[in-house]
Structure 1
Amino acid sequence: MKVYHQIWAILMLYPVFSGVCRGSEYDVDYVQYAEVGDNVTLVCPGEFPSNDELHGVKWHRGKFDQILEYSKSSQRLKYIGSSDKYIVAEKPTQKISVLNVSKEYEGIYTCEVTKYLDLNNPTIYVPKSSKIKLRLVELPRNPPIITGVRPRYIIGEEVKAECLSEVSKPQSTIEWWINDAAVSPDMVTNRTTFHSTLRFNVSEHHLHGYEQDDMILKCSVKIKDGHKEVYWKTSIEEVKVSLHPSHPSIRGYLPAMFSGLASATTGPNLLTFLGLQCVVLATTSFALSVF
């Protein structure tokens, strides 16, 4: 039995995606993901004014908590309150870094940029605000684990496989695959966010698409935040399938039988050969399928 762990897609801890996402407080321009303890860079979205056009930049956390201010006229970068303990920025503060992220730093960050409307009249300037949601996630540290699978099965036998994953935030979903096909929902029981059971009887169609007598069981754990998929890991179990205990493989037995037919001569020898084949088929109690 071979066991594989495949990482199809792993959380990019700092993805930025366009469009408007629903924040818990108000609409935001994008969502930034991080794990506790990370250093995260927040970038003021959109087109940033040129140095000539820029008047100033302010950053807020939440609705009213101002944490940073930059004024072009004074060339001063000012930290508000204790924000200098966890915020790092460089002039002109188009982006800031939140250090050693913890739960208290999660939430909405607002970047307010003001630029001169008319370069010939520096007393007139307009503000533009953009919002970023910093969201903490707790990801499984290890791939899912598949248990209860034997190295070999016979056609008709029941497979009962368990898939276990670590608890995560947001909650994960577990999906099963046999070879490259998603399983039917009625084959899955005990479904939770960290545990799932797959039960089915092995049949010949489970082997389609593979040259050997292999059946591939896959357990995938996915984590989504809204419509955004932020994490995906898959574990794989490979098992062998036989028609009967006395025949180690399907593809090893059937070709041998047809090879005998091709080499048989006409007359009594052929009839004897065919009769022996019928006896074999009867005693092994399986139906020959042509595929």
Structure 2
Amino acid sequence: MLQLVDLKVPPYTIRGQPVRLECHYDLEGEALYSVKWFKDDKEFFRFLPEDDPPAQIFNQQGVYVDLPNSSDTAVVLKAVDINGSGQYRCEVSGEAPSFKTVTNQKVMVVVELPDASGPQIEGVRPRYQIGDTVRINCTSSRSRPAAKLSWYINQEPAEESFLRYHPIVQDEEGLQTSMLGLEFKVRQKHYKKGDLKMKCLATIDTLYWRSNEQSVEGDRPQKAPVLESRETYSPEASAATAVKLISKGHMILLLAASLSVNLFSRLYVKDALLVSLLVSMLDTLWYSNKTQRDGSTSRCYNEKRISSENVPAEVDDESRSSPWKKNTLPNTSSTEAFASSSWNLNLVKFNVIFKKSVINVQ
């Protein structure tokens, strides 16, 4: 008994490319009468082995048969266009006396791909502050079908409530443009990993997969210097200001400077500007060890010099917490009067140079 074994019609094909449609059957001893192909119920190809020539084509918009390369089991279409989308059906009939007919059908969509440069992102500002509202759009132009768009914020899918949907627009050629908006308030969490990254992804099944990303800096005040805490001490207690130098997240050096106030302030500093001001303003600096969470201790080794002449004022292990008073140095306007410190922490060496009015982190 005649059977249609397999029908191969690609679900998607790209506009301008050739397509091969296959129809495999098993006559099981019967003679073949005809093989016919239809698009949307309109015949465009016929194969009758008894005819001469056996193959015949029928013109249909969007379907252009490569006759020399077509046969009873396969039909090759030349460069397909958008009108080639539709339902394709293969019909196989046996000879007399049964004239049994078997048929099967599948849908093929001809795809016009968008621009290879990918979706376009519009409306992004150069900088956003915490609390600002981001309102941007992603557009994928002139394709068929319309590309599916998705938004990602810092590599994570955007929340559904952030998405702003727009209707698909179709031009006179039948090509479609899709647009998806993104709107949300900038939060601190958006800058946890640095810049705010917003990516738009455009896809058409497995044929097209393109994305574009915009990265913006946050117009945020620096975390350092910033006053972390302020505690009041008794009037009898000596007042001080502590400055912590932090490099790559590690506490490197604790400096304390005596002040004539009754408040204790703790300031965290990432750059050297504030420390340079303190060094130029204060008469006394304390260098103190700081024990790390892992039990290691940052060790400070200090010396004082004026030009090439060493001043015998090294701070050794026993007196490391002793103050260095600037007024112990000769009263000179030389800018070369400085104290230098170096220490090792986690096998990484850091150097800090304190001058009268400047500090350099090397």
| TM-score above 0.5, yes or no | yes
8 Å CA contact 1:187–1:200 kept in 2: the answer is yes
TM-score (norm 1): 0.59
Q: 1:286 aligns to what?
A: none
Q: 2:294 aligns to what?
A: none
1:169, 1:153 → 2: CA distance?
36
Residue pairs, 1:4-153, within 5 angstroms: 32-44=11-23, 48-49=25-26, 55=32, 57-61=34-38, 62-63=40-41, 65=43, 67-71=45-49, 77-82=54-59, 86-89=64-67, 90=69, 92-102=71-81, 105-114=84-93, 126-142=100-116, 143-153=118-128
Aligned counterpart in structure 1 of residue 265 of structure 2, from 256, 264, 275: 275
Q: 1:187 aligns to what?
A: 162
Aligned counterpart in structure 2 of residue 204 of structure 1, from 173, 184, 188: 188
Distance 1:58 1:247, change over 3 A: farther
1:273, 1:216 → 2: CA distance?
42
1:56, 1:93 → 2: CA distance?
11
Q: Deviations over 1:119-172 (max 9, x none)?
A: xxx977754322133333333224111123244434333333222221433233
Q: CA deviation at 1:273?
A: 11
1:54, 1:41 → 2: CA distance?
25
Larger helix proportion, structure 1 or 2? 1
Distance 1:40 1:51, change over 3 A: farther
Q: Does 1:222 align with 2:203?
A: yes
1:218, 1:141 → 2: CA distance?
17
1:192, 1:41 → 2: CA distance?
35
Distance 1:32 1:197, change over 3 A: closer
1:51, 1:91 → 2: CA distance?
23
SS in structure 1 at match of 2:143:
coil
8 Å CA contact 1:42–1:132 kept in 2: the answer is no
Q: CA deviation at 1:237?
A: 1.3
Q: CA deviation at 1:87?
A: 1.3
SS in structure 2 at match of 1:263:
strand
Larger strand proportion, structure 1 or 2? 2
Aligned sequence identity (%)? 22
2:210, 2:128 → 1: CA distance?
26
1:128, 1:254 → 2: CA distance?
83
Distance 1:273 1:135, change over 3 A: farther
Matched pairs, number: 231
Q: Deviations over 1:82-123 (max 9, x none)?
A: 58x93125464322111232455443332223579xxxxx97
Q: Deviations over 1:214-251 (max 9, x none)?
A: 3221112234xxxx665432211122336416869xxx
8 Å CA contact 1:154–1:245 kept in 2: the answer is no
The gaps in structure 1 that reach 5 residues or longer are 1-27, 117-121, 281-291
8 Å CA contact 2:82–2:111 kept in 1: the answer is no
Q: Which has the higher contact order (CA 8 A, sep 6+)?
A: 1
Larger Rg: 2
Task: Tell me which amino acid in the other structure corresponds to 1:133.
Answer: V
